[in-house]
A and B are shown apart, each in its own frame.
Chain A
């Protein structure tokens, strides 16, 4: 049962679970760009708080997804697509740094570095998706 296509269909539940988990960071980190822009345009701190919680939620689910991927690898010996995995880790690191940038009290939490990191995180997600496209459905 040598799997040349890593993480392909037969793996079943874990695979599905992981795909579901990965939706969260994708959605959260993308929305962070929008909430950051909203704060930049309005100075309304509500949007900064949205960004902070979105980053946290994305990180928590992203970390669980990474853990599941690792368990999957250990159980099934199905090597994950390494470039995509590596990029995924970069996404999480960027989002972690971004979380800390967003802890500043007010404007400097977003302008300019928070928003820059939010955009960079989305770019890193696109790169991850690119590397993950071949033979696998998820990022």
Chain B
């Protein structure tokens, strides 16, 4: 108990019992960067809890941005916009969704948890139909939307999208779907093909599946969040989860690319280094300052600790039996973002039209905390990069989502739009915000969210990327062998074996 003063007050009222663990003294900024200060886990009887009631934006209200930037509403009256994605022609897709229903009730605690999450999402009142993808078109590139059409409706809790070569890929809560779609179309009539099933319901605790296209256009990368906070539904429920999947775009063959990532979102390839990056929501209920969410580059076959450990070798005692053999190999992530901020969106700013100060780094959308006595998150921050790695302290860029103890909105997914400005999907505020340089500069031409470097700079990844190491089994449900050339086996079995940390399983096998 050195620098953290932990005071615990116990209130007994009838059968209600509330424990308040306060640690106002903790300097949150110590948890930014590659080497965050990690206090000892604190065990209070009740998790620290402070949920912002969603009140929405009044007429004329907007988030706040620093000098040199302007913020405007790009699109309003949306239905829980979660992600924004810019197509190569500058059209913007807004993916709107809410959590799939029907999650089984396993513990008395699940009832209360359900209430908290519903409050945080602001599910009161509006009954607008969600689970759709809306196309926004800024024909004259002046930063305002000129055409708007609902491209796809009635989806199963979609989140990630990607487009390449006449196909629109949509990551629903249980599969990656492929729609024939040419740029410019404002409606899609065709039925989708299932490219690859992903671990889905009935639990589907962290249901948001994000997508990114590899710079050579060959693979899709899909994020699959864990089915629990810290493995408390048993490891059977975690097969193929807490992982990023690599999917062959043409055949749908898939493997787990990296694992131990509790709830990864915001998949993006760094425009300069070609590394895959993600933001990850770390675990709850270890105290207000544990565990910091983070952004990290993702190494192939990398294991990042969940559920057994965090930040390398910090063991989570709740997970039993312990697995020191796995913890030993756990990778510590690149850059901590402080605890419970709920980082869900990531956008690199290279080659954007943002002011110079924001042009080599990443914006991160922090949806905001519930498992803390003091709010954290509820803003978009900018993390400067040097040589393809985060460097230095972040800056709060878009704030004002909180109004006292109430939330006007909550930022989730981010993207650079067709003019080089930042778009923010605000799921509680039902708005997409546009943050642009105040001088009105725009990029010479649209840059899509997934940037294709047509010249493949490297040979395909070792082992053809999709080939499992000799001791592992490839997911059985996929369509035979990849149509691409047969690949040589990976040079060495990966450590720890994929069968231990994230055994892939198809939804059918899991149910």
Contact = CB atoms under 8 A, between A and B. Distances in A.
Interface of A: 43-45, 49, 52-53, 56, 59, 63, 92-93, 96-97, 99-101, 103-109, 111
Nearest to B108: A56
Given A100-B45, A106-B230, A109-B318, 11 more contacts: A45-B232, A49-B106, A52-B109, A53-B107, A96-B17, A103-B47, A103-B107, A105-B228, A105-B232, A105-B318, A108-B43
B320 interface: yes
A45 B317 contact: no
B15 A59 contact: yes
A49 B106 CA distance: 7
A29 to B, nearest CB: 15
B17 A107 contact: no
B32 to A, nearest CB: 26
Given A45-B232, A106-B230, A53 B17 contact: no
Contact of A43 (B46, B228, B230, B321): B321
B17 A97 contact: yes
Contacts of A111: 320
Q: Which of B46, B229, B319 has the most CB of A within 10 A?
A: B319
B108 A45 contact: no
Given A101-B45, A106-B319, A108-B318, A49 B107 contact: yes
B192 interface: no
Contacts of B47: 103
Interface string B13-38: 00101010000000000000000000
Closest 5 interchain pairs by CB?
A106-B318, A105-B232, A107-B320, A100-B45, A43-B320
A56 B19 CA distance: 19
12 contacts: A53-B108, A100-B17, A101-B45, A103-B109, A105-B229, A105-B231, A105-B318, A106-B318, A107-B317, A108-B43, A108-B318, A109-B318
Contacts of A53: 107-108
B108 A99 contact: yes
Contacts of A49: 106-107
Contacts of A43: 320-321
B462 interface: no
Contacts of A44: 234
B218 interface: no
B174 interface: no
A111 B317 CA distance: 10
Contacts of B76: none
A59 B46 CA distance: 17
Contacts of A56: 108
Nearest to A57: B108
A41 to B, nearest CB: 11
Interface in B213-247: 228-234
B285 interface: yes
Contact of A108 (B17, B19, B231, B317): B317
A45 B233 contact: yes
Given A59-B15, A97-B17, A105 B106 contact: no
A106 B46 contact: no
Contacts of B19: 100
Interface string B250-269: 00000000000000000000
B45 A97 contact: yes
A59 B108 CA distance: 12
A107 B317 CA distance: 7
Contacts of A108: 43, 317-318
B255 to A, nearest CB: 28
Contacts of B17: 96-97, 100
B307 to A, nearest CB: 8
Nearest to A63: B15
Nearest to B15: A96
B174 to A, nearest CB: 24
A93 B43 CA distance: 19
Nearest to A45: B234
Question: A92, A96, A111 — which one has the most chain B CB atoms within 10 A of its CB?
Answer: A96
Contacts of B320: 43, 106-107, 111
Contacts of B317: 107-108
Nearest to A101: B45
Contacts of B230: 105-106
Contacts of A109: 318
Q: Which of A53, A93, A96, A107 has the most CB of B within 10 A?
A: A107
A104 B109 CA distance: 9
Contacts of A106: 230-232, 318-320
A92 B12 CA distance: 12
Nearest to B236: A45
Given A49-B106, A53-B108, A106-B231, A100 B46 contact: yes
A115 B228 CA distance: 23
Contacts of B232: 45, 105-106
Contacts of A100: 17, 19, 45-46
Nearest to B18: A100
A59 to B, nearest CB: 7
Interface in B46-99: 46-47
Interface in B315-329: 317-321
B191 to A, nearest CB: 40
A103 B229 CA distance: 12
Nearest to B322: A107
A124 to B, nearest CB: 16
A2 B9 CA distance: 45
B37 to A, nearest CB: 22
Nearest to B113: A103
